């Protein structure tokens, strides 16, 4: 609702006159011109002043007290009703005569509100994140599950596998704890029969005063020594009053070939029921062990099976098994680094030696039956200082006796003092130790063919092995 434009002359001042009041302003506003339509825009206007009053000033435009110049509009007729003068816009009024209603002025978001909202959001997000983190940590600490293969319903193993062989043999393997005059030690053995006979090495029980046998179940009992033989490094002990014994099956060591897989069981460094695996590295390996007494009475001569299955101190007397869990050897010795070598190892370097089970079986049977074992002999004394190739028959025997026993197996075969034996059944012999080993690999009464070098000429002699009591 805008006011119409007025055509009256503009006031001649730019500031509000002193003493101007709201009433004076209303009285000073002239009446609108006829036909201008100013009537339609008046709300609650004051009545027009009486211009006919005697004290009213003249229409002199030069009067100093007149706030506006005199109007040039014609006078109103007496019989016409007085016209309501229109209210002019007063630029010095307290407020305009009309205001456009635009509704409530929207209030913008102030800076402190933005800060407050941001701070609240940050606190809420931080609290939520912290709670979720603690919850995740608790769940990860109590319910952590790593991927894992599904458990097999059948835990059985193939009988020819290492696990299958171990499962079959372990119940028949025992650990021996021996106390003697020189201290105590640990070794291994295995059950031979239901009567409680156990085969082990002679050097395990040689100085024994008390022998304790511990089975794979952890049960321990006291054992007694049945008999032993230092030449074969074998011994038999016996337990009594034990039920449920599991004897091991004995194989045939003559059927063993190089490269066959084998498993060794023992108690290295008193670690009972230790299982190791390897192959047969060689057969017929001449090995001597012992000799601590210095007179040769405790030297063992073994025509051994060589294996790379780890064998360590404590494995002595334990079984060497083939793929069918049959015993083919008795673990007896290892080869370490040279004693002069500062880096010498005290354990296995892959050179282990086992007594063939065929030899062990015969010795064990004799010990169980008679308490001692017999040795096959040819009835000659060897020159152990001979450095040539082969085994030389000495010139004299012990105590000045003849080196060839009269009417002994060698004498009957035609062996003489000074002869050099170079082969046994066609197998080369490089020294006296090897000849003894080759002979002891047989039984008393077995026939042998010896190749003998005499006066530069070779000849073959037939000999039947004799018997001598072992030590």
Catalytic residues: 203, 233, 316
For 231-242, the DSSP string reads TTTEEEEEE-S-
Q: Are strands 300-307 and 352-356 parallel, antiparallel or unpaired?
A: antiparallel
Burial class (CB in 10 A: 0-12, 13-18, 19+), 198: buried
Angle at 281 between CA 279 and CA 286, to 5 degrees: 135
**Are 285 and 307 contacting, i.e. CB atoms less than 8 angstroms apart?**
no
If one counts every other C-beta atom within 10 angstroms of the C-beta of residue 309, the result is 24
**Hey, is 421 helix, strand or coil?**
strand
- How far apart, in Å, do the first and last CA atoms of the chain sit? 143
CB 39 within 8 A of CB 84: yes
**DSSP for residue 221:** E
CA distance 461 to 404: 15
DSSP character at residue 436 = H
**Both tokens of residue 90?**
């007063």
């Amino acid at each position: 609702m805008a006011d119409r434009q007025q055509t009256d002359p503009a006031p001649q001042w730019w500031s509000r006159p002193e003493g101007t009041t709201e009433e004076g302003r209303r009285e000073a506003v002239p009446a609108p011109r006829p036909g201008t339509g100013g009537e339609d825009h008046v709300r609650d206007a004051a009545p027009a002043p009486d211009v006919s009053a005697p004290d009213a000033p003249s229409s002199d435009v030069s009067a100093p007290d007149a706030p506006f110049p005199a109007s040039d509009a014609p006078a109103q007729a007496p019989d016409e009703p007085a016209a309501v003068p229109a209210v002019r816009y007063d630029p010095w009024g307290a407020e305009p005569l009309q205001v456009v209603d635009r509704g409530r002025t929207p209030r913008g978001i102030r800076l402190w509100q933005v800060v407050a909202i941001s701070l609240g959001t940050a606190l809420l997000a931080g609290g939520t994140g912290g709670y979720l983190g603690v919850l995740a940590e608790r769940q990860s600490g109590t319910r952590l599950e790593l991927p894992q293969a599904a458990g097999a319903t059948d835990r059985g193993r193939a009988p020819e596998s290492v696990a299958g062989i171990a499962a079959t043999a372990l119940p028949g393997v025992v650990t021996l704890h021996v106390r003697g005059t020189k201290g105590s030690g640990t070794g291994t053995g295995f059950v031979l029969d239901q009567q409680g006979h156990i085969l082990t090495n002679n050097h395990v029980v040689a100085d024994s005063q008390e022998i304790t046998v511990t089975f794979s179940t952890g049960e321990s009992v006291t054992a007694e020594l049945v008999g032993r033989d230092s030449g074969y490094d074998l011994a038999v002990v016996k337990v009594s009053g034990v039920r449920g014994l599991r004897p091991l099956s004995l194989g045939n060591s003559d059927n063993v070939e190089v490269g066959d897989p084998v498993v060794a069981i023992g108690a290295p460094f008193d670690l009972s029921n230790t299982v190791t695996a390897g192959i047969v590295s060689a057969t017929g390996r001449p090995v001597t062990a012992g000799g601590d007494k210095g007179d040769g009475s405790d030297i063992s001569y073994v025509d051994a099976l060589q294996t790379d299955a780890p064998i360590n101190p404590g494995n002595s007397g334990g079984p060497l098994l083939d793929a069918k869990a049959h015993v083919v050897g008795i673990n007896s010795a290892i080869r370490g680094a040279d004693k002069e070598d500062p880096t010498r190892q005290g354990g296995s370097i892959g050179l282990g030696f086992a007594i063939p089970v065929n030899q062990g079986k015969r010795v064990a049977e004799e010990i169980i039956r008679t308490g001692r074992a017999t040795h096959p002999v040819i009835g000659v004394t060897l020159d152990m200082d001979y450095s040539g190739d082969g085994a030389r028959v000495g010139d004299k025997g012990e105590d000045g006796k003849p080196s060839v026993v009269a009417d002994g197996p060698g004498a009957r075969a035609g062996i003489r003092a000074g002869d050099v034996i170079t082969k046994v059944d066609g197998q080369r012999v490089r020294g006296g130790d090897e000849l003894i080993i080759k002979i002891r690999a047989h039984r008393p009464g077995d026939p042998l063919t010896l190749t003998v070098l005499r006066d530069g000429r070779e000849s073959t002699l037939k000999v039947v092995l004799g018997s001598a009591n072992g030590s």
